[in-house]
Structure 1
Amino acid sequence: MTLLGISYPPSTGLFSDVATSYMNQIVAFLATTGAPVLLANVYPYYSYTHNTQTIDLNYALLTSPGVVVRDGNLEYQNLFAAIMDALYSTLEKVGGAKVGVIVSESGWPSAGGIAATIENAGTYYSNLIRYSKNGTPKWPGYLETYLFAMFDENQKGPAESERNFGLFFPNKQPKYRQLTSFS
């Protein structure tokens, strides 16, 4: 998502100046060939940690009790949906209105950074699983989403938080009780 130069409000989404030249070509190729999707790594955690003064933690964790952002006739209760719709808006502007998106990675670290706790990560993952079934305000419906990562990675870095995205500890024990049921 660092390819987006503008993402707020979501309807104003645009690729960054650096990414525009090659991303426009990629989107045009996907749209012209009827290729099924664009893969996107979506991490509200990083958006939150870079903007803690303006982004509420509940909005980032998908737990806001009400609308946080209004963008025309669309309303957003969580940052994940806003980020995705900024991407959809960007795709529309460059001729990729029919290009689907799969979230190839999303997660929240359980340690090593701002708001990186087991409780917050478990909350994020649980809400993301539930939320993905509904899509976004702009693209309602099922949104195929993959959780990152299966296990903590002790060789990753340099930030400590990057070592702590796993759903399981290195000993294969689950971190999050609330993820044992996906109903």
Structure 2
Amino acid sequence: MADAGGEGIGVNYGTKGNNLPTPEQVVGLYKSRNIGKLRLFDPNPNVLNALHGSGIQVIVGTTNIVPHAGSVTFRCVSIGNEIIPSDVAQYIAPAMQNVDRALKAAQVTAPVSTAVSMSVMGPSPRPSVGVFSDVAAPTMSAVISFLAANSYPLLLNAYPYYAYDPKYMKLDYVLLNSTTVIVHDGNLGYTNMLHAMVDTVYTAMEKVGGQKVEVVLSETGWPSGGGPAVATVEYAKIHNNNAVRLAANPNGTPKRPGKGLETYLFAMFNENLKNEGTEQHYGLYYPDMNEVYHVDFP
């Protein structure tokens, strides 16, 4: 199936739990909440089968997808999740090219990308000076060159939660809750950290030939427990509802206005087989499909 385009809101569907609903129940939950996009970390055949004919756009990791291509709309195929920087990062760009060739040969139309975190960035105190780190830059240059040549997006995992430093930042800025500009950067103003993070990456991409490469926010979220004082249900609710609101806003980011920021919340469920602490508390839902807190999906 042809890939569907750009804007809107999705939710990551993680499966690291031994008490989660069936894939069919999960797909039904997505549809009942009008969540039209889903990110899946591995090509789980049971999940992909449940998605047949659902109309939900899917970002999927790795590529056992040809059997499902006629019945599932693949938004993107992600080669690796936060592999850059690492000792195998150099293989990412060639793998992306190989998978792209294989998909085209199989007549599957889906962008090929990789998901990176903010750890690919060098010191970037404001969006206008964004730069990839010395260790990540060679790989990112190759990745961005491939994406630019094919008009494919870069997948970005960005969490203001992890960057929050109460000594230097207003909580409203990190919770995406301010309506006034908090950070001034030349003639651009930022009311929230998420847009600042994304625009920092846009600046870095421009320096390596990615002037037209789009960012898809493949993960953002806030834990509702299991950690520091700010990991609360109330703050998670505020952050994620604001992330949905920003995704739906056609004005986009200050640096790239005019198009909404396609955004995937992390994650659908609390997953009890993840590492103890906040990792187990990112879900919008408990495994019994009751809400941890309510998110207003458009």
Q: Shorter-chain TM-score category?
A: over 0.9
* TM-superposition CA deviations, 1:39-86 (whole Å, max 9, x none): 1111111111xx231122110001124111000100001000100100
- Which whole-Å CA distance do the structure 2 matches of 1:47 and 1:144 have between them? 21
- Which whole-Å CA distance do the structure 2 matches of 1:113 and 1:55 have between them? 19
- Structure 1 partner of 2:171: 57
Runs (4+) off by over 4 Å: none
2:246 aligns with one of 131, 134, 147: 131
What's the RMSD between the two structures over aligned residues? Answer: 1.2
Q: Which amino acid aligns with 1:156?
A: K
User: Does residue 2 of the first structure (1) align with residue 122 of the second (2)?
Assistant: no
Q: TM-score, normalised by structure 1?
A: 0.92
Gaps of 5+ in 2: 1-117
**Superposed, which structure 2 residues align to 1:100-139 within 5 Å?**
100-114=214-228, 115-134=230-249, 135-139=252-256
User: Does residue 12 of the first structure (1) align with residue 126 of the second (2)?
Assistant: no
Q: Which amino acid aligns with 1:129?
A: V
- Structure 1 partner of 2:147: 30
**Structure 1 residue 35, shift from structure 2 partner:** 3.2
**Superposed, which structure 2 residues align to 1:28-177 within 5 Å?**
28-32=145-149, 34-48=150-164, 51-114=165-228, 115-134=230-249, 135-140=252-257, 141-158=259-276, 160-177=277-294
**Structure 1 residue 5, shift from structure 2 partner:** 1.1
- Which whole-Å CA distance do the structure 2 matches of 1:73 and 1:11 have between them? 10
**Structure 1 residue 133, shift from structure 2 partner:** 2.1
Q: Which amino acid aligns with 2:180?
A: G
Work out the number of aligned pairs and report it: 177
- Which whole-Å CA distance do the structure 2 matches of 1:154 and 1:56 have between them? 32
- Which whole-Å CA distance do the structure 2 matches of 1:7 and 1:165 have between them? 27
* TM-superposition CA deviations, 1:131-182 (whole Å, max 9, x none): 1123211112211101111101112125x011100010122101113x1x32
Greater Cα radius of gyration, structure 1 or 2:
2
Q: Which amino acid aligns with 1:110?
A: S
- Which whole-Å CA distance do the structure 2 matches of 1:154 and 1:125 have between them? 21
- Which whole-Å CA distance do the structure 2 matches of 1:76 and 1:35 have between them? 27
- Which whole-Å CA distance do the structure 2 matches of 1:17 and 1:157 have between them? 30
- Which whole-Å CA distance do the structure 1 matches of 2:124 and 2:178 have between them? 19
Among the aligned pairs, what percent are the same residue?
48
- Which whole-Å CA distance do the structure 2 matches of 1:131 and 1:106 have between them? 12
**Structure 1 residue 6, shift from structure 2 partner:** 2.4
Q: Which amino acid aligns with 2:274?
A: K
Residue range with higher mean Cα deviation, 34-43 or 86-95: 34-43
Gaps of 5+ in 1: none
Matched position secondary structure for 1:102: strand
Matched position secondary structure for 2:255: coil
- Which whole-Å CA distance do the structure 2 matches of 1:90 and 1:162 have between them? 29
Q: TM-score, normalised by structure 2?
A: 0.57
- Which whole-Å CA distance do the structure 2 matches of 1:107 and 1:124 have between them? 7
* Contact kept? 1:148, 1:166, Cα under 8 Å: yes
Q: Which amino acid aligns with 1:100?
A: E
